[in-house]
Amino acid sequence: MSSRAGPSSESQGPPLQRRITRTQTAGNLGEAIFDSEVVPSSLVEIAPILRVANEVEKTHPRVAYLCRFYAFEKAHRLDPTSSGRGVRQFKTALLQRLERENDPTLKGRIKKSDAREMQSFYQHYYKKYIQALQNAADKADRAQLTKAYQTANVLFEVLKAVNMTQSMEVDREILETQDKVAEKTEILVPYNILPLDPDSANQAIMRFPEIQAAVFALRNTRGLAWPKDYKKKKDEDILDWLGAMYGFQKHNVANQREHLILLLANVHIRQFPKPDQQPKLDERALTEVMKKLFKNYKKWCKYLGRKSSLWLPTIQQEVQQRKLLYMGLYLLIWGEAANLRFMPECLCYIYHHMAFELYGMLAGNVSPLTGENIKPAYGGEEEAFLRKVVTPIYDVIAKEAERSKRGRSKHSQWRNYDDLNEYFWSVDCFRLGWPMRADADFFCLPVEKLYFDKLKIVLVCMP
């Protein structure tokens, strides 16, 4: 990736193979100030690249130039015709800046080529900055370390593009360094309140006894059979197991892990007399949170005359784990339910069957249909719960919304959330089955049809 502006000589690297002309990006912005934070929504992918360019510009202007040039190329690939809102003006401003800064930054380049310049800076950044943060005595500033790894990833992306343009291979040492960076990037993920990655155990909030007690309890996965093809990571917990078995989205698992830990910790610390300072979750806290979470579910079971699926083991050492599994499953269903949250009894129906599956798996029950150990009806695949449970029900809601004609239709001609939720107020809802039958009444749209021999209302299944 060499410069496209200024004279092209051998010392400056080969010119671009495809010249991007000003007619493709022309606008009336002129010499507008370019801000990396003001990026059109359709080009949001290049914002991190421009941020890195701004950070390194004072000390390494040529590296900043190469980052901006790569950002321009990427923006042009994302929107080659500049049809997005604000894209033409944005690309024009960036192109003008590149033309203006090419010669000055080229004169200040330390290495003989842009590829060598990028490789040298990448190694310098890792050794002098990232390793210094890693070797710090306290390692307290997790945010700074996370940002450093993100910057290194961007620099490597630009480095690869520059090397590809100049037909150079990336050195093995740099590839090995990037493998370390990528590994750490997967660990140091964004979080809301609790940094739960292995490298954040020394963070102040993670030192509270109530937080440690909840985290320790969730990490008790003893006796849980993981899927054969599942790649276990360090510090896997109950939520990870539920996500793997039922096909919940990984970000939903992360959110509900933090949610459950905070629920348990907040109740744990309010117990009187106060629990021991050792990281052990108080059973009173566990019972109280479980009681609140399943209040509506137990009322639903009682109303329909059904026994709940909250079966506890007779072995006392397994009771806490089972309670946490039941609570984690409920929160994962709720977290991924989207609009189904407006149908609480529908969620009760879903949870009732999934909790029963959970009990069957933990008890080692055998399916009478297959003769094999019980498995989730909708598990085994990534995002299975969203695609196979939430989406079909949501599609029914969407079709009913279309039938309402934006509220102009009579209420008797379409079903709203309450109408759909009422389906689960009756024992007839169990006709839906589990896995749910696609031809069940719930998935059929009521349509009035006039017959010449008589009038009647029928249910017509819509594709």
Domain-wise residue ranges, the chain: 10-187, 204-388
Locus of tokens 């990396």? 36
Give the model confidence (pLDDT) of 271-326 as tens digits. 878 877 677 899 999 999 999 999 999 999 999 999 999 999 988 889 999 999 99
Q: What does the mean pLDDT of the chain come to?
A: 84
Per-residue CA distances from 427 to 118, 215, 306, 349, 446 (Å): 67, 39, 9, 10, 20
> What's the chain's Rg over C-alpha atoms?
29
**DSSP letter at 450?**
E
Fold of 10-187: 1.25.40
Percentage of the chain surpassing pLDDT 70?
A: 84
Residue 114's pLDDT is: 93
Q: What is the pLDDT of residue 87?
A: 92
Parts of the chain with a pLDDT under 70: 1-37, 136-141, 277, 406-409, 411-414, 445-463
Nearest to 437 by CA among 365, 394, 375, 377: 377
What local confidence, expressed as pLDDT, does residue 18 receive? Answer: 41
Do the strands 455-461 and 444-450 form a parallel or antiparallel pair, or are they unpaired? antiparallel
Distance CA 68, CA 64 (A): 6
